[in-house]
Structure 1
């Protein structure tokens, strides 16, 4: 399923976000024209609520489309590295637009590529440890892997997926958070009321009546709490599915970047480069890992 997921998930995210944004803009236009009597009242009755309901999650999601390169540059303390740029310069012709090459301080061997949503600007950054430990062959293979991510549009697709996920989970997250805050606020009072009820029942009807009275009380509480708890559970399931989808997509794109990087250099060079890295979870890869295990990546390369 993961192989199909990486094909339709970003397309679905782009399509639904595009449709929602278009509908939002049309609603804004309708509301504006409605002020001058150019739009029928029935249309305004639909456009107004849609503008409010759809506007909030889209406003939250749009932050993902802000150019991330400068933000990442500052966040990871990336600095330009002309020496590394000259070492991988031969591969840069495989990219479009302005690709900046930099390094960032880190104790682990790693690298990443990120691009603006609109084509034209990208960043490939290597950790200082990777630069110090990689041979020319390994560095070229890693650069080819990151260039493959850029050529395949993986960074842009991830932006659309993250924005889509954020928009979808916005109202469930908001409602679930309000319910949990309410439960945290009232549970001490419910506990106190339960203790008072037990004490009064024991005093008036005797100790033997406490169990029956409390059972009835808990049934009332269960009926009241059923729907709020279902909403919270529904949000948790939805969030799990969205996170699973994003991470499954990320893992599958790593395989694709390995294969494309090997085509730009060689299969042996890519396998050799992967030996520089270590699995963060040696026991296995979970559903919320963004990268497959190194063993699986090498096995796929040998099979291709």
Structure 2
């Protein structure tokens, strides 16, 4: 038997995958928005003292609502998606399930996500954390991409799982809704601050979404090779326009809105390709050298079931 080449395996513990910094930033951002809204509204018919008092309760209410409702929504994501999105869950022995499991183990995840197939030419991952994640791959991708390119897409979605990006984005959206809803209690704040903060927070959420895509691309490239990640991106961006379902859930998708503006959910193809070619994020992924899989992941390459099990039900 010939020698096997070595390839990098990601050190999961070395990834900055904690969502706590994002949560703290959202709390501070909501407090800043409440103070700023009070200052902005004061010259327009309401005294600063009254405006500030109306915002004091928000210092507790907005973070509390944002956190609780955000986590509740994330916890129900997988169940809702399977029921409403036309997803077909795959069995343990399905080749795609095995490939996802092998890549999850290579990434260092202790649980392997559920795997589903959808009819749309896209892919996404959902769930509050790695213990209840679902990776969904579009059947058109399976039919048209090479195995290495499909693995790159899967690696990208597993990168979102490993980085807790679903929790980051879910909390960001929940905090945004909580802040805007709370400001709606005051007619003056609603008239002046609420409208402005709605747009400012939207730019923040979209900016966070674009940044997380770069990191997920880098993890997919670290798992499979940047040439496969770039090839998959190029093929997907040549695909037909986004379907209605994809537009409605663009922030979740592997390919979303990418117009190169503040309104984009994703970086453009050119931006993502350049980041991979220059290894802007890729060189910051912590890796270690291990023996490579001789071929595409198969049942024989899967880790021991005792070491990696399905996510908690």
TM-score norm. by structure 2 comes to 0.60
Contact 2:257-2:266 at 8 Å conserved across structures: no
Q: Relative contact order, CA 8 A, sep 6+: which one is greater?
A: 2
> For residues 57 and 259 of structure 1, what CA distance do their matches in structure 2 show?
31
Partner of 1:97: 111
Counterparts of residues 174-193 of structure 1 (less than 5 Å): 174-175=185-186
Q: Over residues 124-148 of structure 1, what are the superposed CA-to-partner deviations in whole Å (9 max), with x where a residue is unaligned?
A: 0011222221210110000111111
Please state whether the residue corresponding to 1:101 is helix, strand or coil: strand
Deviation at 1:240, TM superposition (A): 0.5
1:286 aligned partner: 261
Gaps (5+ residues) in structure 1? 1-5, 18-45, 180-227
Which residue among 167, 179, 182 is the counterpart of 1:168? Answer: 179
Q: Distance in 2 between matches of 1:116 and 1:237?
A: 30
Q: Distance in 1 between matches of 2:257 and 2:28?
A: 38
1:63 aligns with one of 60, 69, 88: 69
Equivalent residue number for residue 150 of structure 2 = 139
**Any idea what the Cα deviations from partners look like across 1:170-226, whole Å, max 9, x if unmatched?**
122454xxx6xxxxxxxxxxxxxxxxxxxxxxxxxxxxxxxxxxxxxxxxxxxxxxx
Aligned to 2:84: 75
Q: Given that residues 100 and 123 in structure 1 are in contact (C-alpha distance below 8 angstroms), is that contact kept between their aligned partners in structure 2?
A: yes
Distance 2:201 2:78 in 1: 25
Q: Which has the larger Rg?
A: 1
Alpha-carbon contact 2:67-2:175 (below 8 Å) kept: yes
1:28-43 mapped onto 2 (5 Å cutoff): none
TM-superposed CA distance for 1:256, in Å, is 0.9
Contact 1:14 1:160 in 2 (8 A): no
Shift of 1:61: 5.8
Q: 1:102, 1:124 within 8 Å by CA — same for their partners in 2?
A: yes
Helix, strand or coil: the match of 1:77?
A: coil
Over 3 Å counting, the alpha-carbon distance change for 1:143 and 1:53 in structure 2 is closer
Aligned to 1:12: 25
1-structure distance, mates of 2:149, 2:273? 14
CA distance in 2, matches of 1:283, 1:124: 22
In the alignment, does 2:112 pair up with 1:112?
A: no
Q: How does 1:261-280 map to 2 (within 5 A)?
A: 261-278=220-237
RMSD over aligned Cα atoms: 3.2
User: Please, what TM-score do these two structures have when normalized by structure 1?
Assistant: 0.61
Aligned pair in 2 of structure 1 residues 56, 88: CA closer, same or farther (>3 Å)? closer
Change (3 A) 1:59 1:11: closer
Query: Paired residue for 1:86, among 98, 104, 120?
Result: 98
Corresponding pairs, count: 213
Distance 2:237 2:221 in 1: 19
Asked if structure 2 preserves the Cα contact closer than 8 Å seen for 1:61 and 1:167, the reply is no
Partner of 2:219: 260
CA pair 246-53 structure 1, distance change in 2 beyond 3 A: closer
How many Å separate the matches in 2 of 1:167 and 1:300? 34
> Structure 1's 282 and 54: CA in aligned 2 closer, same or farther, altered over 3 A?
closer
Q: What SS is found at the alignment partner of 1:288?
A: coil
The SS at the match of 1:292 is coil
Partner residue, 1:42 = none
